[in-house]
Every structure is written in C-alpha cells, then in structure tokens.
Amino acid sequence: MPRWIALSLYCLACPLLAAPCPDWSASRAGAELTTLQHQLKGWDQAYHQQGRSPISDELYDQARERLQDWQQCFAPQAPSAAPADLGPPGTQAHPIAHTGLHKLRDEQAVQQWLHGRRGLWIQPKVDGVAVTLHYRDGRLLQAISRGDGQRGQDWTTQARLVAAIPQQLPRNDELILQGELYWRLPGHVQARDGSGTARSQVAGALQRSRLDADSAARIGLFVWDWANGPSSMDERQRGLRALGFADSAELTLAITDLAQARHWREHWYRSPLPFASDGVVLRQGSRPPASSWAAEPPQWAAAWKYPLSQALAQVRGVHFQIGRSGRITPVLQLQPVRLEQRSIQRVSLGSLQRWQALDIRPGDQVAISLAGLTIPRLDGVVWRSAERPALAGPDPAAYHALSCWRPSTGCTSQFSARLAWLGGKQGLQLAGVGPGTWAKLQQAGKLPNLLAWLDLEEAELARTPGFAATRARTLQQSFASARRRPFAQWLKALGLPASGAAALGTDWDTLAARDAQAWDAFNGIGPQRAAQLVAFFRHPDVQALRQRLHAAGVAGF
C-alpha cells in the first residue's frame, strides 16, 4: 500500500487493540511525540523525494497509528500535527478523486462495517501503486499517479510502454478506471512470501526518466474500479470483462456476510496470486456519483488487512538470562503485540554481543516477526526513545561453565538453569519436576545449593507454599528416586563437559585422577576439552557436590 494511502486510512475500533497510554511525565511525552514526528518526516522524505523506502509500509502504518494513539493520550503535549511530506506535488488533476480506504482492525470492526449493508463485494488489496487511466474515444488519454488523491504525476509516457495497460479500448465514450500497477510475481503466496520489495520495484520503475523494456514487462494492472461506470457492481464487472479486464473482474466477488469475507481473505492470503497483496477490500456495489468523491476514505469501501508479518513493539525492559554454561542471552520484555493470532511479549536477542551492538533500551521501538511462524524474532530497531535510561549488562567474565553453583547475588539465573538441567531430560529425568517446581522451592528458600533438595522430607515440602500434601508426597518420592540413578547419569546431570569416547567407569576417584594428557588420549576430546574436564573435577564447588552425593549413598561418589 503506497504511503499516500496509508496517510488516509482511518482507524476503526482502535480502543479494542490500542496499547495503554505510556506512564510518562508531560515533558517526556512531548519529547517522545516530537521524536516520532521527526522520524516519520524523515521516512516520508526518503520515500517521496529520494525514491527509497527505509522502512516497510507495514511498520510505517503502525508507526503512524502509534503517533495517533500518543496524541490522544497526551493531547496537551502533542506538537502541532504536520502533514506527511509527500515531496513535489503532482500537477495533473484527477478527473475523479482517489478516495483512499478506511482500515478495519479486526473481525469485530468488520462485522460492524458489514452490518446493515447490502450488495457487498470483496477483492484482494493489491500491493502496488495506484493509478488513474483516462480513456477518450477508446484511446488512452492519460495515466496519472495517485498523488494526494486530487492531483498526481503524469505517467502517460511510462504507461504507453506497459503492455498490461491497453492503449485502445473497444468503446468510444469517456472511461475513467482506477486501479493498481503491480510487480508480477507468478505463484506468489502472501502468507509464505510476504510483500518483499514488490511495491518499491514497480514504484521505482515508474519514477525513472526512461522505463526499460524488462521492467515494463514485469508491471501488471489490476482495475479495482470503473469510476464513471454503471451504478451497479454487476454491470461494472460485466463491462470490465468486455473491455478485456477479465482477470480483475474474476477477483471481485459478491459476498453476503462476515463468514464469506473471512473465507476469501484467508483463501487469498494462503493461495497463489500473480501479485503481492496486503489484505482485502470490502465494497458496497452501489455508491454515490463519482462527481461527489473526495480524496478521503468513503463510507462505501473499507480495507481488512492480512495478519501482520511484522509488528511494531515497544520495549518495556531488558532481561539477561544466564544459562547453565554461563552464556548470557538478553531477552526483550515487550508491550504485548499480536502476530499470527499469538500474543508476543518476549523476544530473545541471541547473544550479549548483539544487544551491545544494537544498544536497545526500555522505551525503544523494535520490529518483531515470527521465524517459521512460531518463534519470535527481532528484525531491528525502528526508532529509539527520546529518553534512554542507563542500562549495563552482566560482566561476561563473571560467568562461565563453573560459576554459580549457589544462588548467590547475580547467580539466580545460572543457578536456576543448572537446576532445570539437573532434573530435566538431559539429566536425572525427575518425574513431575520442572522449572516451576524449582522456582517455588527457591522462592521458599529451600535450595541454598544444587543438592539441598535431597534432604527435603515430605512434611517440609507440604508446608512449603505451592505444594499440597499429595503433591509433596509425589515430589519427595521423585527426589528419593534420584539416589538410585546411575553414576554416568549423575555426572551428566551435574554438568560434566562432553567427554567424547572417554570411558567414564563407575567411580569418581578414577576420573578425578586423570590429567589433561590422559583425557586428550580419548577420541573426540581435544586439548581444550581435556582442560575443561580437569577443571571440572578439581573445582571446589564440584568437589563439595561430590561429597554430598557420597554422603547420600549415591553409587560412584
């Protein structure tokens, strides 16, 4: 959807999904609103004056909506709302205004729009650039870009090179067609492929001083309205077929209710089409005379967009998870956003280095998508908050494979990861014991070290918040069963470094006696891993765990 349509979209049912107002002071609100307005102005200038798109239209639309939401939240602090910079204005007047579209945010808003209307139609919302095609005496007189809806640029020279645009029509009266020029994408499935750069490719081709033959052949035409055509949609569609626009007519279908609208929206989202599309357009078959149209969203048409492929999310906080091996993983806590019917509140950055490079802080706005339609993924920073609190990450030197055997200050995360590994499928496979179990015991102060749970009796567990009598009994039985686990399983549960083809035997003393050279003699163990194995057996905290297991009668220790 071109930016000039995005600016005219009206948000229906905003209170249903709008984020809560930020808890900002008046001065902070003013600074944040100004920052966003400056960012939007920069994007507008890049798009309309320089012919490049620094941000996807999907994110741009959300940023515009975010500005509207904030202006409502902080009306006294909102700077004067400057219109979007559309670049040099078009000089060619449209014979009939381009109206733009309302945007319906969800099914409830769609149902409200459909209620009471008759003679309804639906068509894909083609992701291209809008154009007016003006014919007189059967010949193409002018092609005009959408511009501001009243005036646009004269694209007639380019249009005469595009085979998809007929130069001659079999009628002698005046015809005014409105439609979308798109980049041909045979077999394109929107849910799978997204829009990519399709719109910018066709827009860039038409803005060049000379349209090359290859680009002209890649441009298609979808006629979405015969502006000065017959009063009924049936007649207009029959007329478009007769004029040679059968492909456009075939994708304009009659519907009666929300269920049919939902069906076709889902069908076109997941089925091959020859173009990128970003939703569907709902239309009433009857509408006012074209002479009354204005460059603003009408009441007789609306857009229902596809699910977001990228969501704009505000960062609420940055949490640093420290894994069992000491790896630090920054996780962004987000103001909840929805993608593919999922509420996304967290996204991992993968590594401390990536967080340091991006320098993301609370208040920043980021782009989120789903990898493989399931895993939240950070695509990048969209813009930064005007007020950026100081935020220091953990010291990487303080965390490693042998740190945090107790829940001391700064060690809660790594210690919790050690517990999860110890009781999980990689370790002792304790039935009914998961991260939630360990968290409750930690909160109750029952786990001062990694093996303190071995001493917990059923009565003490039953007195612990979150554990009823039956749960305490089964949990104590699961803990007691750990004493019978094999020696090798216990070593892995404690975090023994990968030992390749090394023979682990049946007792601790034999393994602890090996030096680096002895470990290195086994296949699959190099000098680095050999040094890690020696360090593991010699570490004081690990030796203390060995003594505890020896006292508990666990075989091998």
What residues are labeled active site? 125
- CA dist., res. 286 & res. 288, Å (int): 7
- Cα–Cα distance, 110 to 261 (Å, whole number): 9
Amino acid at residue number 79: P
User: Three-class SS of residue 254?
Assistant: strand
> Which segments within 48-154 are labelled E, that is strand?
92-93, 102-104, 120-126, 129-136, 139-145, 151-152
Backbone φ, ψ for residue 370 (5° rounding): -115, 125
The residues, ordered by sequence, that sit 6+ positions from 115 with a Cβ below 8 Å of its Cβ are: none
Report the alpha-carbon distance of residue 17 to residue 104 in Å, rounded.
Answer: 11
CB 521 within 8 A of CB 460: no
Please, which residues have CB within 8 angstroms of residue 231's CB and are 6 or more apart in sequence?
Answer: 286
Half-sphere CA count of 418, side-chain side, radius 13 A: 28
Question: Which of 141, 123, 125 minimizes the C-alpha distance to 177?
Answer: 141
Instruction: Give the Cα separation of 151 and 457 in Å (integer).
Output: 81
| Residue 437 C-beta-side C-alpha neighbours within 13 Å | 21
Neighbours of 331 (CB within 10 A): 16
Signed CA dihedral, 89, 159, 141, 8: sign only: negative
Beta bridge partners of 328: 322
Half-sphere exposure of 68 (CA within 13 A, CB side): 17
- Give the DSSP letter of residue 306: P
Could you report how far apart the first and last alpha carbons of the chain are, in Å? Answer: 68
What token pair was written down for 433? Answer: 């014991």
Closest CA to 207 of 94, 58, 43, 88: 88
Taking residue 235's Cβ as centre, other Cβ atoms within 10 Å add up to 13
Sign of CA dihedral 144, 147, 150, 152: negative
Rg (CA), the chain: 32
- Residue 319 CA from chain centroid, whole number: 19
CA dihedral 308, 314, 319, 321 (to 10 degrees): 10
Give the integer Cα–Cα distance in Å for 170 and 69: 49
- The residues, any chain, with a CB within 8 Å of residue 75's CB and separated by 6 or more, are none
Helix axes 412-423, 435-443, angle to 10 degrees: 130
Confirm if 396 and 356 have CB atoms less than 8 A apart. Answer: no
